[in-house]
Amino acid sequence: MNKKQLRELISVGEGYYLELKENISNNLGSEICAFANSSGGKIILGVKDNKEIIGFNLTNQIKSKIQDITRNIDPQININIEQIDNLVLIEVPEGKQKPYFVNGHCYLRQGSNTQQLKRDEIMDFFQNENLIKFEKKANKDFNLEKDFNNHKFNSFIQKANIDSSLSKKHILNNLGLITDDNLNNAGVLFFSHRISKFFFNSVIACVLYAGKTKSSILDKQEFDADFISNLNNTITFALKTLRTEIIIDSVIREEKFEIPEKILRELIVNAMVHRDYFSEGRVLIEIYQDRVEISNPGRLLFDKSDFGKRSLARNPLLVDLVYRLGYVERIGSGIQRVKKVMRDKLEFDISSDWFTVILKRKFAGVNAGVNAGVNAGVNAGVKLTTLQKEILLKIEGNREITAETMAELFQKDSRTIERNLSKLKDVKMIERVGSAKGGHWKIIK
């Protein structure tokens, strides 16, 4: 690797394959061990976390110290150390005799972090979970010219603060998304036009039910674009069905969702990045009258008793990509953060093949008025469209909601919303009480 290539690597920033350090630290051995246990990687000495280059000089004494640290890794692994300009590059290959230990401890790369694991956990992980094989596998059916979504790629590098002057292939390679000169499955998930062309099980299914059971479906949608589009579309589907509270602090008026958007995003991201992509199952979002269920195929990679205390990624490359975009905070802290916010409104259903998060809805009677109105309308010969049912749900959740707000939530123009509101008023399902600005909606039972 030459000076130019090294600087370009630094510009991409820390991640699953790269660790930046100002100098030798006490945890250098654990970083080398983690890379050996994962997919290999590079450690650059002489760079701050913010990518600022301060330089580092490789003396014989320091080189000997690094080699001594490496000798403590069991089984032994050979690394390459070299001075390139004013920086030191340590290249760690993927180990062929996993798991590796240093000073009696075992480490694994998780996104841009290194995590200590128990021996039983890591043995089980490597033996039973086909660690990183899915996301690292070259996808030879993917054509970089025809199937690659350049718009999504450019959006990604902008949000991830990556130098856009670098070539596409260079960035993809440094992100670990190139395997055997092909885009690998992790890259396909993020940058394909339509994900179902390559992985039908990556489609996300969202269902809205009328009551507490699956007996009556109000709406159902499936999303099969790229990873980030699917995530955002799923969030939008969930939010437009949830109730809102009106919070007035002094003269500030704020609408607050019954389940915070940040919590929904965290849990849906977790379902998408931690699922087992070898399974034929899909990520499933089900919204009932009294709860929201977020399910994904794949068992826990550690004992249930450690759930919420430990984090082990089935797909560390995907974790790294969403971390770079800021969709998750410190890796491994998500469940604890969700528990702190939701408290007694949160449950987990953990089976041998599936993992389900259950979010209890705050309002026990949610949708009751809507269901009664819909049923009355049906009995009177009135058939409502999906959009009209969704409008009724939003009004039930927030009687002061405006047509403009609904247009934004549903991604429709205001005239479409006004036309459907007029239809609902004509069939006596809603009425407006008071003025357009200061009044509120009433659902007619």
Determine, yes or no, domain membership for 286: yes
Give the model's confidence band at 434: pLDDT under 50 very low, under 70 low, under 90 confident, else very high: confident
Amino acid 54: pLDDT = 95
280: closest CA among 182, 354, 380? 354
Whether residue 397 sits in one domain with residue 320: no
The encoded tokens of residue 271 equal 């379902």
pTM, whole model, 2 decimals? Answer: 0.70
The per-residue pLDDT for range 9-20, each reduced to its tens digit, is 999 999 889 999
Distance between the two ends of the chain, CA-based, in angstroms? 72
Name 229's Cβ contacts closer than 8 Å, sequence gap at least 6: 152, 223
DSSP 3-state of 201: helix
The per-residue pLDDT for range 115-146, each reduced to its tens digit, is 888 766 666 666 554 455 788 889 999 999 99
Amino acid 155: pLDDT = 94
177: closest CA among 47, 12, 329? 12
What 344-348 contacts at long range (C-beta under 8 Å, 24+ apart), as own/partner pairs, is: 348/307
Amino acid 364: pLDDT = 45
CATH of the domain at 21: 3.30.950.30
User: What is the C-alpha to C-alpha distance for residues 243 and 390, in angstroms, rounded to an integer?
Assistant: 11
Question: 3-state secondary structure string, 242-277?
Answer: CCEEEEEECCEEEEEECCCHHHHHHHHHHHHHHCCC
Whether residue 343 sits in one domain with residue 373: no
Question: How do beta strands 105-110 and 217-223 pair?
Answer: unpaired
Domain boundary among 103, 126, 149: 126
Domain boundary among 98, 126, 154: 126
Check residues 120 and 279 and name the one with the higher pLDDT: 279
Amino acid (one-letter) located at 408: E
Give the model's confidence band at 25: pLDDT under 50 very low, under 70 low, under 90 confident, else very high: confident
DSSP conformation class of 306: G
For residue 387, CA distances in Å to 231, 239, 398 come to 21, 14, 16
Whether residue 396 sits in one domain with residue 323: no
User: What is the C-alpha to C-alpha distance for residues 224 and 84, in angstroms, rounded to an integer?
Assistant: 44
Type and span of the H or E element at 117 = strand 113-117
- Name the H helices within 160-203: 168-174, 185-191
Determine, yes or no, domain membership for 205: yes
Whether residue 354 sits in one domain with residue 208: yes
Cα–Cα–Cα angle for 140, 186, 176, nearest 5°? 95
How many domains in the chain?
Answer: 3
Range of the domain at 81: 3-126
Determine, yes or no, domain membership for 134: no
Do residues 432 and 425 touch, judged by C-beta distance below 8 A?
yes
Do residues 298 and 276 touch, judged by C-beta distance below 8 A?
yes
Do residues 317 and 186 touch, judged by C-beta distance below 8 A?
yes
Is the pLDDT reported for residue 263 higher than 70?
Answer: yes
Helix, strand, coil in percent for the chain, rounding step 5:
40, 25, 40
The encoded tokens of residue 439 equal 């009044």
Check residues 115 and 330 and name the one with the higher pLDDT: 115
Whether residue 342 sits in one domain with residue 407: no
Whether residue 398 sits in one domain with residue 325: no
Whether residue 306 sits in one domain with residue 248: yes
The encoded tokens of residue 226 equal 């790229």
Determine, yes or no, domain membership for 277: yes
Determine, yes or no, domain membership for 46: yes
95: closest CA among 45, 166, 51, 37? 37
Average the pLDDT over 318-340 and give the result.
79
The per-residue pLDDT for range 144-169, each reduced to its tens digit, is 999 999 999 999 999 999 988 899 99
Whether residue 339 sits in one domain with residue 302: yes
Average the pLDDT over 374-402 and give the result.
72
Determine, yes or no, domain membership for 106: yes
430: closest CA among 438, 422, 379? 422
User: What is the C-alpha to C-alpha distance for residues 149 and 343, in angstroms, rounded to an integer?
Assistant: 40
Whether residue 399 sits in one domain with residue 338: no
Average the pLDDT over 397-418 and give the result.
84
Torsion-angle region of residue 308: left (phi > 0), alpha (psi -120 to 50) or beta?
left
Give the model's confidence band at 379: pLDDT under 50 very low, under 70 low, under 90 confident, else very high: very low
Amino acid 420: pLDDT = 93
CATH of the domain at 394: 1.10.10.10
Whether residue 381 sits in one domain with residue 336: no
**What share of the chain has pLDDT > 90, as a percent?**
43
Q: Which of 31-45, 379-393, 431-445 has the highest mean pLDDT?
A: 31-45
Give the model's confidence band at 52: pLDDT under 50 very low, under 70 low, under 90 confident, else very high: very high
Domain boundary among 74, 98, 126: 126
Determine, yes or no, domain membership for 229: yes
Name 162's Cβ contacts closer than 8 Å, sequence gap at least 6: 11, 12, 13, 156, 171
Amino acid 284: pLDDT = 96
Whether residue 235 sits in one domain with residue 110: no
Cα–Cα–Cα angle for 252, 245, 336, nearest 5°? 100
CATH of the domain at 341: 3.30.565.60
**What share of the chain has pLDDT > 70, as a percent?**
85
Determine, yes or no, domain membership for 275: yes
Whether residue 345 sits in one domain with residue 264: yes
Amino acid 156: pLDDT = 95
Amino acid (one-letter) located at 201: N
Is the pLDDT reported for residue 192 higher than 50?
Answer: yes
